[in-house]
A and B are shown apart, each in its own frame.
Chain A
Amino acid sequence: DVKVTQSSRYLVKRTGEKVFLECVQDMDHENMFWYRQDPGLGLRLIYFSYDVKMKEKGDIPEGYSVSREKKERFSLILESASTNQTSMYLCASSLPGRHSPLHFGNGTRLTVT
């Protein structure tokens, strides 16, 4: 079974802090994703990576950046956290096939105060 592990389940940070969310997958998947989940809005793609050091902006990249230095690890960075970034963050990975399903981590619930 694919395992996608997010380093923190809950995080509380202060406005203006730099925040790192880490994600590791153990199945050698090429694709990795960061989503944000908010009630009534579903999942919105922040960033996508299809290979080491490669990234594509998703639908809501503003205020975020990402890093993928190794195939198994994909980090989401909030350069200067703001209260409107309080949310559930979900990492996912997949094979590059046309109908490969996403495999999700358990999520990180971030609160910015």
Chain B
Amino acid sequence: AQSVTQLGSHVSVSEGALVLLRCNYSSSVPPYLFWYVQYPNQGLQLLLKYTSAATLVKGINGFEAEFKKSETSFHLTKPSAHMSDAAEYFCALTSGTYKYIFGTGTRLKVLA
């Protein structure tokens, strides 16, 4: 069975500090992995996706994620947090079917 675990339902960082949001996955087949962001009262927007072409994936708004097969992880990072990064972030996995498995989300708070 496939699963996605996001460690930490709430993360707080200071403006300008490193953002690290954790995602671990379980899959018996090579996964395709995604990070989405959700701003208040909006739908989810794609930040980046991993499709096996490169293990380090760059996305929008300065975010990037590294696929580590040995650690079954796909953590999301940003070198310097901005107030506008405050949102909820979702990690998701698919094995190539219509079934997308979402994590339970991490709410990022950025402190001035």
Residues of A within 8 A of B (CB): 4, 9, 31, 33, 40-43, 45, 48, 50, 56, 90, 92, 98-99, 101-107, 109
> Could you tell me if A101 and B46 are in contact, using CB atoms closer than 8 angstroms?
yes
Number of A-B contacts defined by CB within 8 Å:
54
Given contacts A41-B104, A42-B105, A43-B90, A56 and B98 within 8 Å (CB-CB): yes
Distance (Å) between the CB of A57 and the closest chain B CB? 11
Residue from the set A41, A45, A56, A102 with the largest chain B CB neighbour count within 10 Å: A102
Taking CB as reference atom, which chain A residue is nearest B99?
A45
B56 sits at the interface (CB 8 A) = no
> Could you tell me if B43 and A104 are in contact, using CB atoms closer than 8 angstroms?
yes
Residues of B within 8 A of A (CB): 9, 32, 34, 36, 41-46, 49, 51, 90, 92, 94, 96, 98-100, 102-105
From A42, A104, A107, B45 is in contact (CB under 8 Å) with A104
